[in-house]
């Protein structure tokens, strides 16, 4: 079990890139609990990068300003570079925050998300980590909602005895502050996925494809992250990185003696 100290050293990352507005919102959130904040984020957008590493090209680091760096790699690369190089002699962070992502990361989306992946990488180093995402629909992103409630989420998590291999996935609804229906601790939901691959053509008549995933946000579980955000609440979901299915392990042990 790990506790976050007062005025913790915090590392910020994201998957939308070093210049993303959500990263600025995340910095405002972090400033409410700390004055020791480092930022290491991708040079360009890495949405959908999941927990990938750059293995076939060298990583280059650019110092943007004091304690703020960009890396020409994935969110996972950024956390690795921060922990193994940039912060190595300064002391590792007590807390890693990722986001605030433009768009929710709910249900099965966490397996694709670079935002969640940055928190995963920190978790593998036994550092408490939180992934923040903001649901965005037609009316534009409501960053003020994340900035207002984010520090309250962290205040609650500061009291949390962090288990090993657990990160926290937080999703804000697409609502103005006064319309938010409180906080809910939730399960990871599951959508019905309709695979969609859009075929279109370039000016020379050659086909190309856009990957899209029309989704049904209904969830059969009343306590899921999907249900909470759809009902206007802030979803707080503990995610365990041990993917072992215990019941199957027990059954398979009997078949492979």
For residue 47, what pLDDT is reported? 82
**Unique residue bearing structure tokens 């990068």:** 49
Q: Is 154 left (phi over 0), alpha (psi -120 to 50) or beta?
A: alpha
Q: What are the pLDDT tens digits along the chain (257 aa)?
A: 788 989 999 999 999 999 999 999 999 999 999 999 999 999 987 787 788 888 889 999 999 999 999 999 999 999 999 999 999 998 999 999 999 999 999 998 899 999 999 999 999 999 999 999 999 987 889 999 999 999 999 999 999 999 999 999 999 999 999 999 999 999 999 876 655 778 888 899 898 887 766 566 666 678 999 999 999 999 999 999 998 988 899 889 888 87
Query: Please, are residues 177 and 144 in contact by the beta-carbon 8 Å criterion?
Result: yes
- Structure confidence at residue 74 (pLDDT): 95
Q: What is the pLDDT of residue 29?
A: 98
Whole-structure pTM value: 0.91
Instruction: Sketch out the chain's domains with CATH numbers.
Output: 9-255 (3.40.1210.10)
pLDDT score recorded for residue 219 = 64
pLDDT at 221: 79
Q: What residues contact residue 257 under an 8 Å CB cut-off, 6+ apart?
A: none
End-to-end CA distance of the chain: 35
Pairing of strands 215-216, 36-42: unpaired
Closest CA to 217 of 182, 171, 251, 149: 171
The whole-number pLDDT of residue 191 equals 77
C-alpha 43/C-alpha 62 separation (Å) is 9
């Amino acid at each position: 079990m790990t506790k976050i100290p007062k005025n913790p050293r915090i590392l910020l990352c994201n998957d939308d890139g070093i210049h993303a507005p959500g990263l600025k919102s995340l910095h405002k959130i972090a400033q409410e609990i700390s004055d020791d904040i480092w930022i290491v984020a991708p040079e360009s957008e890495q949405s959908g990068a999941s927990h990938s590493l750059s293995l076939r090209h060298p990583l280059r680091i650019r110092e943007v300003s004091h304690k703020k760096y960009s890396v020409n790699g994935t969110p996972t690369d950024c956390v690795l570079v921060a922990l193994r190089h940039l912060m190595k002699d300064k002391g590792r962070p007590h807390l890693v925050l990722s986001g605030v992502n433009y768009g929710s990361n709910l249900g099965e989306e966490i397996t694709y998300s670079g935002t969640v992946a940055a928190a995963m990488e920190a978790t593998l180093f036994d550092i408490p980590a939180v992934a923040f995402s903001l649901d965005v629909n037609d009316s534009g992103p409501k960053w003020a909602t994340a900035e207002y409630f984010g520090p309250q989420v962290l205040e609650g998590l500061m009291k949390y005895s962090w288990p090993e291999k657990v990160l926290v996935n937080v999703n804000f609804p697409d609502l103005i502050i006064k319309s938010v229906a409180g906080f809910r601790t939730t399960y990871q939901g599951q959508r019905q996925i309709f695979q969609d691959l859009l075929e279109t053509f370039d000016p020379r008549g050659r086909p190309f494809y856009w990957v899209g995933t029309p989704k049904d946000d209904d969830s059969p579980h009343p306590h899921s992250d999907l249900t909470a955000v759809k009902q206007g609440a802030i979803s707080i979901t503990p995610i365990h990185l041990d993917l072992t299915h215990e019941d199957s392990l027990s059954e398979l042990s009997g078949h492979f003696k």
